[in-house]
Structure 1
Amino acid sequence: MRILLLTLIFLTTLVACERSVDFDLDKQEPKLVVEATIEARQAPLVFLSRSLDFFSEINPEILTGSFVRNAIVRISNGSRTHQLKEYSIPTPAGTIIYYSIDSSNLATAFPGVEGTSYRLEIEVDGKTYTATTTIPVHAKTVDSIWWRPSENNPDTNKVVLWARVTDPPGFGNYIRFFTSTNGGPFNPGFNSVFDDQIVDGSRYDIQVEKGINRNEEIDFETYSFFDKGDTVILKFTNIDKANYDFWRTMEYNYGSIGSPFGNPTKVLSNISGGALGYFGGYSVQFDTLVIPR
Structure 2
Amino acid sequence: MGMSNERLNITRTFIGLLMVVISSGCEKEITVEVPDSEARLVIEGRIESDGVNNIPPIVTLTKTTGYFSSTSFSELANLQVHNAEISVTVDNATYPLEELCTANIDPILLPLVADFLGVPEEELAAYNYCVYTVPLADIVSGNFLSGEVGKTYHLTVVSEGATYTAKTKIPSLNRLNSLWYEEAQADTFGYAWANMSDPDTVGNAYRWFAKRLSRNAAGEQKDATFLAPAGSAFEDKFINGITFDFAYDRGHRPGEHAEDDPAELPHFFKKSDTIVVKFCTIDISVYRFLRIYEIEVNSAGSPFASPSTIPTNIEGGGLGLWAGYGATYDTIFGVD
Q: Report what 1:158 is aligned to.
A: 189
User: Residues 60, 177 of structure 1: CA spacing in aligned structure 2 closer, same or farther, 3 A cutoff?
Assistant: closer
Q: What are the within-5 Å matches in structure 2 for residues 233-272 of structure 1?
A: 233-259=276-302, 261-272=304-315
1:195-238 superposed Cα distances (whole Å, 9 cap, x missing partner): 1111111110011222221142357x943311122110000000
Q: Which amino acid aligns with 1:26?
A: P
User: Residues 144, 59 of structure 1: CA spacing in aligned structure 2 closer, same or farther, 3 A cutoff?
Assistant: closer
Question: Does residue 243 of structure 2 align to residue 203 of structure 1?
Answer: yes
For the 8 Å contact 2:55–2:146, the answer to whether it is kept is yes
Return 5+ residue gaps in structure 2 as ranges. Answer: 1-24, 104-123, 214-220
Distance in 2 of aligned mates of 1:76 and 1:244: 22
For the 8 Å contact 2:43–2:320, the answer to whether it is kept is yes
Distance in 2 of aligned mates of 1:288 and 1:243: 25
Larger Rg: 2
> What number of residue pairs does the alignment pair up?
273
1:104-160 superposed Cα distances (whole Å, 9 cap, x missing partner): 35798421111100100011111111101000112x43101011222xx215x2122
For the 8 Å contact 1:169–1:200, the answer to whether it is kept is yes
Q: Report what 1:45 is aligned to.
A: 58
Structure 1 residue 54: Cα displacement:
2.0
Distance in 2 of aligned mates of 1:59 and 1:225: 25
Q: 1:98 aligns with which of 124, 131, 134?
A: 131
Question: Does residue 176 of structure 2 align to residue 142 of structure 1?
Answer: yes
Structure 2 residue matching 1:191: 3-state secondary structure: coil
Q: Percent identity?
A: 30
Distance in 2 of aligned mates of 1:136 and 1:198: 19
Q: Report what 2:333 is aligned to.
A: 290
User: Residues 58, 205 of structure 1: CA spacing in aligned structure 2 closer, same or farther, 3 A cutoff?
Assistant: closer
Question: Does residue 159 of structure 2 align to residue 118 of structure 1?
Answer: no
Of 101-110 and 198-207, deviating more is: 101-110
For the 8 Å contact 2:158–2:164, the answer to whether it is kept is yes
Structure showing the higher helix proportion among its residues: 2
For the 8 Å contact 1:178–1:235, the answer to whether it is kept is yes
User: Residues 202, 59 of structure 1: CA spacing in aligned structure 2 closer, same or farther, 3 A cutoff?
Assistant: closer
Structure 1 residue matching 2:233: 3-state secondary structure: strand
Q: 1:34 aligns with which of 43, 62, 66?
A: 43
